Structure 1
Amino acid sequence: MTLPAIFFVRLARQEKALHIARLTEMHFSRGQRVVVVVADDVMATALDRYLWAWKKDSFLPHKVMSTVGEFCDDAVVISTVEFNPNRATVLICATPCSPDFLKNFQQIYDFAETYDPHLAEAARERFRLFRQQGFDPQLEPPATDT
């Protein structure tokens, strides 16, 4: 079994929602299904609203789900649980996910939030953990505005 590609996106500012939207739009435009895992219902609601309004010329149809076991055909799902309801190949971790869950995808994005020392250290720990689990995580260049 081939392990998925894991990319850590460096964030020098608190702009995770913007980068989640950009990544989601990129993969959606390629015809790929995406799951975005968030920490809780509050984050799910905030990201849901953000994806509808973040860019005037963008349309990212999506569904918010918070249960395990229900499947859907939506190309983009925001989930509060580690579940792949739309058989996505792309996972965006807005909150840390377990290594076992990551194995269900081909491509994964995590965030190295360098603007906060505690969040940066947590990202370094996840990076090390993924390596220990046999993954080959890559650190992408700092995210820039486009």
Structure 2
Amino acid sequence: MRDDFRFSHRLKVRYSEIDGQKIVFNAHYLTYIDVAVTEYFHEGLQLEVGSDFDFVLAKSTLEYKRAAHLNDWLTIWCRMKKVGHSSMTMNFIITRDGEEDPLLTAEIIYVSYNLGKKKTQPVPDYVRERIDQFEKGNFL
């Protein structure tokens, strides 16, 4: 358990996710993060993403430190770093079960998006409140 992250999601590396070098292909780490951020909002914040609140990826920065392999159990740690007017910056760490050292670290910026209007919108107040309650005010 990481004290600096309140939420995590576990998954197992599947055969279709490894490449010719027998390691997880780099693009799959973004998929792992995408699965975890969905669970962060659904399980962690108890929010249904869709009708009046949705978000899209605006920027991703990933730092690959070590490789994951077939059948590894991975933990994707998620936390909100900052909530702006329409953007949300999140940090992620991916670790292998039983290990503290990260396989990958990431910072991703999401933008609140109105699907009906097909444009960005301010982060709704109720979303800000849920994030603040869940993260205990530990973001900027």
Shorter-chain TM-score: which interval? Answer: under 0.3
Bigger radius of gyration among the two? 2
Structure that is richer in helix per residue = 1
Structure that is richer in strand per residue = 2
Name which structure has the greater RCO, CA cutoff 8 Å, separation 6+: 1
